[in-house]
Amino acid sequence: MDREKLFKLLEDIRSGKLSIENGLEKLKNLPFDDLGFARVDNHRTLRLGFPEVIFCEGKTDSQILKITAAMLKSKSPVLATRIADKTAKKLTAKYARANHNKLARTVFIDSSGRSRQNRLEGGVAIITAGTADIPVAEEAAVTCEAMGCRVEKLFDVGVSGIHRFTASADILDRHDVFIVVAGMEGALASVVGGFVGKPVIAVPTSIGYGASFGGVAALLAMLNSCSSGITVVNIDSGFAAACAAVRILGLLKERNK
């Protein structure tokens, strides 16, 4: 339950549109719904501005389906990340509004049936160094959009052909937060960080040859960037980058009220 829904519920009780008993019924599963194997956090949107997300790796199909049902019952949108295709097919078969992004390995179900895009002010640009980095970028994009952000993508503009990036540099004027996804030596984040004075969130990917050590080389390069102020998240964690972007845009929304 988010702030707006809780506020309306309390207003309805105060005005007499809703009885105290019915209001209590709606509130009884707060702050979490205990499923035995999981405790679904129904108050996360109220605290953080975005709901709990299902991380699917390590969970059974049955557990994922039950968590999904509990979240939808509480009117929460559902975002499932790192989901296997076979599990995603079960969700899309059961819920007509389920949207499966195979590349991002996500399923999103909007509980309201309406797009959440543009709920937050400002926008996020998601930029990749190479085509192989796109799955991580797509995870970030799906997460941002599910949480209400406007997203623009710019793919395959890495430093081995930097003219590809500069040809589209007008993207830097249109957005408030930049997520830069890169493997190999991870240099693109430093380049973008040198062009804009806005938040840049760097995502190292595990893409690269042997000496990249599964993304460790890109991670260390981004942590040691000479473009001061870049934020770096974990290897292949497009989801974490998106959550950081949402927090930043959430502050902008609060300050502009």
Q: Which helix (H) or strand (E) holds 137?
A: helix 134-146
Q: Report the alpha-carbon distance of residue 172 to residue 253 in Å, rounded.
A: 20
Taking each helix axis from N to C terminus, what angle separates 216-223 and 188-195, rounded to the nearest 10 degrees? 30
Residue 46: inside a domain, yes or no?
yes
Residue 52: inside a domain, yes or no?
yes
Residues 48 and 103 placed together within one structural domain of the fold: yes
At 7-61, the pLDDT tens digits run 777 888 888 888 887 776 766 656 777 788 888 887 777 677 778 899 999 999 9
Residue 70: inside a domain, yes or no?
yes
Residue 117: inside a domain, yes or no?
no
CATH of the domain at 196: 3.40.50.1970
Q: Average pLDDT of the chain?
A: 87
Share of the chain residues as helix, strand and coil, in percent rounded to the nearest 5: 45, 15, 40
Residues 88 and 168 placed together within one structural domain of the fold: no
pLDDT at 120: 73
List C-alpha distances in Å: 166 to 184, 195, 228, 240.
20, 10, 20, 27
pLDDT at 29: 59
- How would residue 255 be classed by pLDDT, with cut points 50, 70 and 90? low
pLDDT at 222: 96
Residues 190 and 218 placed together within one structural domain of the fold: yes
Flag whether pLDDT at 85 surpasses 90: yes
Q: Which helix (H) or strand (E) holds 152?
A: strand 150-154
pLDDT at 30: 67
Range of the structural domain that residue 89 is part of: 31-109
Instruction: Kindly state the percentage of the chain with pLDDT values over 70.
Output: 90
At 104-159, the pLDDT tens digits run 999 999 876 544 555 777 799 999 999 999 999 999 999 999 988 899 999 999 99
pLDDT at 114: 46
